[in-house]
Chain A
Amino acid sequence: MNAERSTINWNELLAGLSLGLVFGLALQKSGLTDHDVILRTLLLQDLTAAKVLLTTVVVGAVGVYALRSLGLVQLHIREASFGSNVIGGLIFGVGMALLGYLPGTVVGAVGEGRLDALVGGILGMLAGSFLFAQAYPSLQRVLSIGNLGDKTFWQVLRVNPWVVVVVVCGAVIALLVWLESVGL
């Protein structure tokens, strides 16, 4: 216990809290903590949530790769595998439509006073996390189906990272401009 205590890094915790405050503010003010905003995006009735995410991709990608070019940050890429990302992603998607909140926004929704997020969502997430931990040893084989390793697109395509950043961000900006022009 003492060994665990001594590893607490207060600066790290304070940085996490500060970043979380800004994160929560942006999530709440964008409407992403609202069940109806998430569902209307999934029903393709109002694409607010998609617009937030697509803007994040453009700003974040340019920023992260600029900082990386300056040698200020390192990337943290997770392993890509069909069995993990595709199957798990689809299960997550089904849950997202039923819940109407995401693992981060559900906590924000509780802060806004949404009792379905607290009593239904958070309890469900705790149960789901516990169940996954218990199932984990027997899921190993499925999780590693089609494992590509911790790859980025520019590593797979063997091109300069900026080629991928510029092409993807250009396509996303074009998509956003088009969505606004047709009034979606």
Chain B
Amino acid sequence: MRYVYLLLVVVVGVGLASWLSPARWSPYVAGAVIGVLSCLALLISDKPLGTSTTHVRLSGFIARLFSPKAVDENAYYQETGIKVEWQMMLVLGIFFAALISALLSGSFELRWLPDGWRAAFGTMPLARVLIAFLGGLLVAFGARWADGCSSGHGISGTVQMSVAGWVATICFFVGGVVTALVLYGPGGMPQ
């Protein structure tokens, strides 16, 4: 019996290591895993996958420290509900999984500049941070305007064949492709 347990530990260990240690999965494997996950979220928690409302809740927690009125008397924060709930834990899980995955595959590294950005726009971190801030601001503003982000519409909406999900996701790509071409030019990102 002891050997059976030992064998089980080895099999599970090797299995986990072979899944966790490669730097990349095939896009089809990763896509299939996320597809199964979108089903499990509905089955287990009766909730569609989503992430951007968590940023609203976090902004509410922080804004409350400075101006409770700007949060407690705001219609959007009232509708959303500023609390720790399922989706916030989902987002926390993404953080820990990416951290562990990057550590195990050796790709964890503290750095300011993505390689492709550096090749196109140079080595000044401040420029990258300012553009990332502006991008983050528009992503959050746009996600809440569209009533969903690349998870809520892009994954959950599309798999459920929701009109809102498909329309929003197509608009995400249209806005993104046009902006990316303006930023990097027709030559694209340097290899």
Contact = CB atoms under 8 A, between A and B. Distances in A.
Given A25-B97, A151-B162, 15 more contacts: A16-B86, A21-B97, A26-B30, A43-B188, A51-B28, A55-B30, A56-B31, A56-B38, A77-B160, A91-B142, A104-B151, A120-B136, A125-B140, A127-B137, A153-B161
A107 B149 CA distance: 14
A93 B142 contact: yes
B128 A132 contact: no
B40 A97 contact: no
B145 A67 contact: no
A52 interface: yes
A96 B172 contact: yes
A153 B163 contact: yes
Interface size class on chain B is 35 or more
B31 A88 contact: no
A168 B163 contact: no
Interface string B130-162: 111111111111111111111111111111111
A96 B135 contact: yes
A107 B51 contact: yes
| Interface of A: prevailing SS | helix
Interface in B142-191: 142-181, 183-184, 188-189
Nearest to B133: A124
A19 B90 contact: yes
| Interface of B: prevailing SS | helix
Interface of B: 20, 22-25, 27-28, 30-49, 51-52, 54-56, 58-60, 62-63, 70-71, 74-77, 80, 83-102, 107-117, 125, 128-181, 183-184, 188-189
Interface of A: 4, 7-8, 12-36, 39-40, 42-45, 48-49, 51-61, 63-64, 67, 72-81, 84-117, 119-134, 136-137, 139, 143, 148, 150-154, 156, 161, 164-165, 168, 176
Nearest to B165: A78
A17 B136 contact: no
B42 A116 contact: no
B25 A30 contact: yes
